[in-house]
Amino acid sequence: MSATANTTAQALSGTGVSASTVHANLTASGLVAHAMRRGEGTLSADGAFIGITGQHTGRSVQDKFVADDPEVTNEIWWGKVNQKLEPAKFDRFTDRVRSYLGSQPELFTEDLYAGADPTHRIKVRLVTTNAWHALFARNMFIRPPAEELAGFQPDYVILHAPEMEADPATDGGRPNSTTLIALSFAKKVICIAGTSYAGEIKKSIFTVMNWILPAKGVLPMHCSANVGKAGDTALFFGLSGTGKTTLSSDPERALIGDDEHGWSDKGVFNFEGGCYAKVIKLSREAEPQIWDASHRFGTVLENVVSDARGQLDLEDNRYTENTRSCYPIEFIPNTVPSGMADVPKNVVMLTADAFGVLPPIARLSAAQAMYHFLSGYTARVAGTEKGLGKEPQATFSTCFGAPFLPRHPEVYGKMLAELIDRHGAQVWLVNTGWTGGAYGTGHRMSIKHTRALLRAALDGTLAGGEFETEPFFGLQIPKSVPGVPSEVLNPRNAWADGAAYDRTARDLQGRFEKNFETFAGAVDESVKAAAIKAAA
């Protein structure tokens, strides 16, 4: 409902913002109505809201800063990921954002949860100038029942001012940038200014969960998760574009969530109440669940192209390759309503290998799992982050989520190793990238083959088969898998020129070795041995 004079104070409680007109906790229909009234975007022929984000079509990672509060400074992984912002400048910036929001003719607030497990969830209040951003947050996070909204007091507040320009001289952000995403763990406030890309809202809270949960003995993870009919939980780690959303949306398995989860000794739980799927070149045949969810009222489509009749063109990348669809998880037909499940039986680490070296699937030892988790190798896909070129770039993002880790990577790596050991999970490395050659020469892995490999891994068929050890990384590759040609399984056999494969594999080895130097002093001997094998 829209807040009247006597409820505005409650709608803005804990935010430090004062305003006269506040639309608080509107439903999807109310938010879409306001968004259309305000000219914030258009509707597709199926009723999905289409928002165009302007110059920012991905996360502005260089504009993310963390307040260097004395209470937390010794525990933060400072550097390129977590750039320091003086507490006084954070305070000035926050005051400017609050003043800006308070000067607007109307605001939208949403009260939401992050974390399906009540033991570990946090309360989040978003204050924004745009109805469609409020709808994005409502789709993305967990929506409390109406009876739990009365007296709602947030643990964390997001002050969202996308049209406001930051001032580097005053606010302390990046020189010559009018964009600033600033977070204070001590004050429990996030300020976002100068970017309309909605993913900043989602990922700011993921960063918060990555801060809070390790101290509670819970591993926060950049992964999707689903569960089979036998109750077997599977996790899918990976960066954007590697297949987390696609591969976890399996009609034969119930979806827990598509991107962010926690793993405790009790089990796995989703942080969110929605999905944020990439939809560039989305195929109804290959991804029917995501397709259907993207073609209905209540969904938010970000930077997706449509014609005058509202018909979508998912092939068109005129705005970005990073086109997105944000929808409540219940838009997927087969989900886990509680967002919680048992501890995982299988852990899958996804990579999009642009070099065409890694096998489509390999079984990892516990030491190799730690090694590849800390390495976080993939190829960043154009458009996921601002400033990337058109070709995929090989990158290492520790824990498959470095931009969202406020603590040192070893904290998360050690927790993963301990959980795998205690619960006996089997770990797999899956390459959804290139085969038969590097990017530009080879071709992308067949999604049909990837799905067949995953089914065999998750139902236990693969573990009982024969494996061979490839010589460059010591990976265990299955010799045969039903429905997958044998020449696909060993990547060297898929190349026309074996010598060229060997050269490329040695080059990738060197990249792994150089990247892992950062962690050499922080891991035990078994992981060091896995690293040495990979670099041999």
Q: Which two tokens stand for residue 185?
A: 């763990």
**Active site residue: 15, 129, 242, 245, which one?**
245
* Residue of 54, 60, 53, 168 lying closest to 387 (CA atoms): 60
* Residue of 143, 109, 136, 276 lying closest to 198 (CA atoms): 136
CA 129/CA 519 separation, integer angstroms: 43
- Does the active-site annotation cover 253? no
Cross-strand partners of 302: 51, 324
- Does the active-site annotation cover 448? no
How many angstroms separate the Cα of 359 from the Cα of each of 410, 435, 460, 491? Answer: 26, 8, 19, 5
- Does the active-site annotation cover 96? no
**Active site residue: 89, 244, 451, 492, which one?**
244
**Active site residue: 125, 261, 324, 345, which one?**
324
- Does the active-site annotation cover 111? no
Longest Cα separation, the chain: 75
**Active site residue: 23, 59, 120, 372, which one?**
59
**Active site residue: 8, 224, 240, 450, which one?**
240
- Does the active-site annotation cover 324? yes
How many angstroms separate the Cα of 451 from the Cα of each of 222, 250, 382, 455, 494? Answer: 20, 9, 24, 6, 19
- Does the active-site annotation cover 245? yes
- Does the active-site annotation cover 259? yes
3-state secondary structure 417-476: HHHHHHHCCEEEEEECCEECCCCCCCEECCHHHHHHHHHHHHCCCHHHCCEEECCCCCCE
CA 535/CA 284 separation, integer angstroms: 41
Provide CB contacts within 8 A for 197, sequence distance 6+: 53, 56, 57, 58, 59, 60, 302
**Active site residue: 96, 120, 203, 407, which one?**
203
- Does the active-site annotation cover 128? no
**Active-site residue set:** 59, 203, 222, 240, 244-245, 259, 324
